[in-house]
Amino acid sequence: MWDFVTEHWRDGVEIIILAALAYHGYLFFRATRGARILTGLLILLLSLALISQLLELEVINWLLQRISVFLAIALVVLFQPELRRVLAELGSHRMFSFNRPDPESLDVLLEAMQKLSSRRCGALFALKRGIDLKQFVETGVEVDAAMSVELITTIFHPKTALHDGGAIIDQGRIQAAGCVFPVSQKEVRDRAIGLRHRAAMGVTEETDAIALIVSEESGALSLAYRGKLEHDLEPEEVRDRLNEILTFGSVKNEPPSEDPPRELGTV
């Protein structure tokens, strides 16, 4: 027994590491836009590999081996925004940082969002977490001011110079306004989802920020995280979601990616 353990403990460690990597890879990719393409490709390739092995089809075997190199490149292209976010997360040492807005500033933000909603003023916020949003700050105007309902509603008043674009919130302060975020290329079923919501999805695809949106058209409040849009939430739901994400790092009870009821950011 002891001989078996000393001989095979490395295999056990390898199996545990590979299983953990596969599981985390699955969790990471299952909610992304390429998940279905990836699943389809894997099923196709595994079936082909199995058939060609069983029937000893040499040409197909040879082709599959050659294709695997191109497949690796295709996967990098397919999951480019997600990979960028993971690398940025690793680079930002997020595991060691704790960038959480205090409850008072969240209250201020939510109150301002409700005011903007009742006045039908569109607004977009990106709440910075671990990953630096400097590249987006540079596209707007630096504000660096304490948050207040008055300031936020003034910024997003349609007649001000800063109302176009998004505001960046960092540790309870308005860092910048009028910022341009990357627009998500995800296919969205709802035609009412325009550029503001797409920009919210885009900035959360590429960073670990949380985006909050007030719709100019309907006054609806929405939240985007990791590229997914949760549309038309009640103020209390926004607060709960924010607390969940800020506490657990992800949305608890996350709806499945297949046809979720109110989540629109899926292919």
Shortest separation between residue 180's beta carbon and ligand ATP, angstroms: 4
Pick between residue 107 and residue 138 the one whose CB is nearest to ligand ATP: 138
Pick between residue 81 and residue 166 the one whose CB is nearest to ligand ATP: 166
Pick between residue 24 and residue 262 the one whose CB is nearest to ligand ATP: 262
Pick between residue 35 and residue 137 the one whose CB is nearest to ligand ATP: 137
Nearest to 34 by CA among 68, 77, 67: 77
Tokens 């994400």 locate to 245
Pick between residue 35 and residue 126 the one whose CB is nearest to ligand ATP: 126
For residues 36 and 182, give the distance between their C-alpha atoms in angstroms, rounded to a whole number. Answer: 23
Shortest separation between residue 53's beta carbon and ligand ATP, angstroms: 49
Q: Count CB neighbours of 128 within 10 A.
A: 22
- The residue at minimum Cβ distance from ligand ATP is 194
Shortest separation between residue 157's beta carbon and ligand ATP, angstroms: 12
Shortest separation between residue 196's beta carbon and ligand ATP, angstroms: 3
For residues 171 and 145, give the distance between their C-alpha atoms in angstroms, rounded to a whole number. Answer: 11
Asked if 80 and 29 count as a contact pair (C-beta separation under 8 A), the reply is no
Shortest separation between residue 243's beta carbon and ligand ATP, angstroms: 25
Nearest to 145 by CA among 179, 99, 100, 177: 177
In sequence order, what are the residues at sequence separation of 6 or more whose Cβ sits closer than 8 angstroms to the Cβ of residue 42?
Answer: none
Residues forming contacts to ligand ATP in the complex (CB under 6 A) are 122, 124, 164-166, 180-181, 183, 193-197, 199, 215-217
